[in-house]
Structure 1
């Protein structure tokens, strides 16, 4: 239990850490990777190159300090972090390593301003946060190991099918090499895949949403090739597209994630996705259309038909199920794309255009896509009067959504 004095020191120094947050976190990662290079196998090195991980962690530290009087207000955020950690296989013994180098980085960047009293207060605050996360992660690990088909750590899977879904997205159907059942998952959750990346000389781990409904036998992931036009190319996505084929083996973690639908509910759901953000929505959609049937509205945005994954199957589903209403937005339609056949609206997804269809009693709203897209949809829903508690979102990569 933190004393009030410790809380006061943390709150008082939070603005200083926010001002120097990026430099502190950059220093932290540098120190930690030099002392423990094996941890590069756990962290996303592409996000390191782009500085996204540093930004996300700096914001998380500041948010914790700002809410230290009542950390319960951060439980949703901590739950997301715990799920991500569990998918990476984070271990309790790694927390002291992070704490050691985080405090050392604060000392190094702040210099004489980082008094022993300040360092002591932040050490206690970090220890308290670590205890909370370790408790949450332990419960997740126990739950995974205890369910039918569940496991902890890494399990070997075999690629049984590799299927292009569009010009940039490919699906992989993965079955366990031991032939035993796999754990069920909540529609919207993700799995982690671990592969060796020769270009880095490291193992790298990525999370990919499960893009089919649970079946107890296999998992499907649908991966967008990150070409690197405006940033470093995706190490893992390109490796999967170019070098992982049917019959190859990969390692998977048990599914985790707090972004999912309630499979027992019967209230309406509204799915809003952009680009590869449709992958968790497909799992949600297919499950929601089964018993008990629910009203589903699905609004999806893509540049055009060339990159619109699973478009034919979505159109077919809209014709088959009376409880599904589908809206497709193309912001860069091709000359051969026909409005009314290939897409419904030109431009970015605009919920205002379809508000009569999406403003449903007791509906929940799920958003997934690029961060600017999600911000826009979140704000648009709020402007239409949707309560914050009804809006759910999934971020691919470090959570930079909140500013």
Structure 2
């Protein structure tokens, strides 16, 4: 438990963190990668360059500061980070590394404004926040079918579109954990010329008796590497994770996908149809020959899926006008795709749940 004085200092400095948050977190990553290069493998360096990771961390730090006296309020917001940590095998020993470099970054960026009392208060607060993460992640590890990464072997590769390949990967030890529809696995890649391991999360298109189907699009370092792999390649994989999942319900289901955002929603659609639910899927693509999982979607139509394919060679997205025409009263709605499309979806359909491929953020709803 934090004493009242510590909580008062942290809450009082929250506005400063909001104003300087991205500067602090950007410096934090630079500092940590220099001081502790062993943790570089846990981070997507493309997102670092684009500024998405520092921004996401800045938002998380600010939220923790504002709610330091009632951390239970931020539990829903940190669920994506908890699942991502599980998929990357983040362990308790990593938290002191983060804490030391985060406090150092606050001191470096704020200078004399970061008084000893402020740094001491933030050190105590970070310790409490880290303990919350460690405790919740322990529960997730205890429930997982395996911890960390274990070897899978590529059993089948299918050319899906010019941009997408489907991979059937099988567990070498035969032990597979069921992926709840919407969850992902992490793939670990040892790429020639790279001095660290790289990791990338891929939605599970389907769980099989001995493995998983994934459908990566050829963009980014790991995905391009994965597209070069062939049958027989051994790939380390972590257990399924992710909180963007199909909830138990008997309500009609509406899914809105943009491009490769179909991958988590396909598993939801197939599962819901098997449960006897009414399912409508809107899939926006740039062209019909770039429609991921096209044949599989057509097969689901035969099983009762109401499929609406929207082709837009410029944006590959649904418009607000098209979404407003939908009757989704009483429906469960999920969406995944480009950020601009998801923003349109949640502003038009406020109850829609969404997932980012990358660092989490909050979309403005209507």
1:127: which partner in 2?
A: 127
Please tell me the root mean square deviation across aligned C-alpha atoms, in Å. Answer: 1.8
User: Which of 317, 321, 324 is equivalent to 2:303?
Assistant: 321
Shift of 1:40: 1.1
1:295: which partner in 2?
A: 278
1:365: which partner in 2?
A: 333
Shift of 1:116: 1.0
Q: Does 1:252 align with 2:237?
A: yes
1:279-290 matched pairs, under 5 angstroms: 279-290=263-274
State the number of aligned residues. Answer: 364
Partner SS state of residue 309, structure 2: strand
Quote the Cα distance in structure 1 between the aligned partners of 2:197 and 2:43.
9
Q: Is the 8 A contact 1:169 1:309 kept in 2?
A: yes
Distance 1:222 1:105, change over 3 A: same
1:53-72 matched pairs, under 5 angstroms: 53-72=53-72
Shift of 1:211: 0.8
Partner SS state of residue 366, structure 1: strand
**TM-score scaled by length of structure 2:** 0.94
Partner SS state of residue 190, structure 2: strand
CA offsets per residue over residues 146-200 of structure 1, 9 Å max, x none?
xxxx21111100001111211211111100123x231112111000000112242
Q: Is the 8 A contact 1:275 1:369 kept in 2?
A: yes
Q: Does 1:378 align with 2:339?
A: no
Shift of 1:140: 0.4
Structure 2 alignment gaps of length 5 or more: none
Structure 1 alignment gaps of length 5 or more: 145-149, 227-233, 334-345, 383-389
1:108-119 matched pairs, under 5 angstroms: 108-119=108-119
Q: Is the 8 A contact 1:270 1:358 kept in 2?
A: no
Shift of 1:15: 1.5
Q: Is the 8 A contact 2:258 2:316 kept in 1?
A: no
**TM-score scaled by length of structure 1:** 0.86
Q: Is the 8 A contact 1:375 1:401 kept in 2?
A: no
Quote the Cα distance in structure 2 between the aligned partners of 1:392 and 1:371.
13
Quote the Cα distance in structure 1 between the aligned partners of 2:336 and 2:8.
37
Q: Is the 8 A contact 1:351 1:377 kept in 2?
A: yes
Quote the Cα distance in structure 1 between the aligned partners of 2:266 and 2:52.
27
User: Which of 177, 200, 213 is equivalent to 1:220?
Assistant: 213
Quote the Cα distance in structure 1 between the aligned partners of 2:33 and 2:76.
29
Distance 1:401 1:57, change over 3 A: same
Partner SS state of residue 117, structure 1: helix
Partner SS state of residue 173, structure 1: strand
Quote the Cα distance in structure 2 between the aligned partners of 1:143 and 1:103.
32
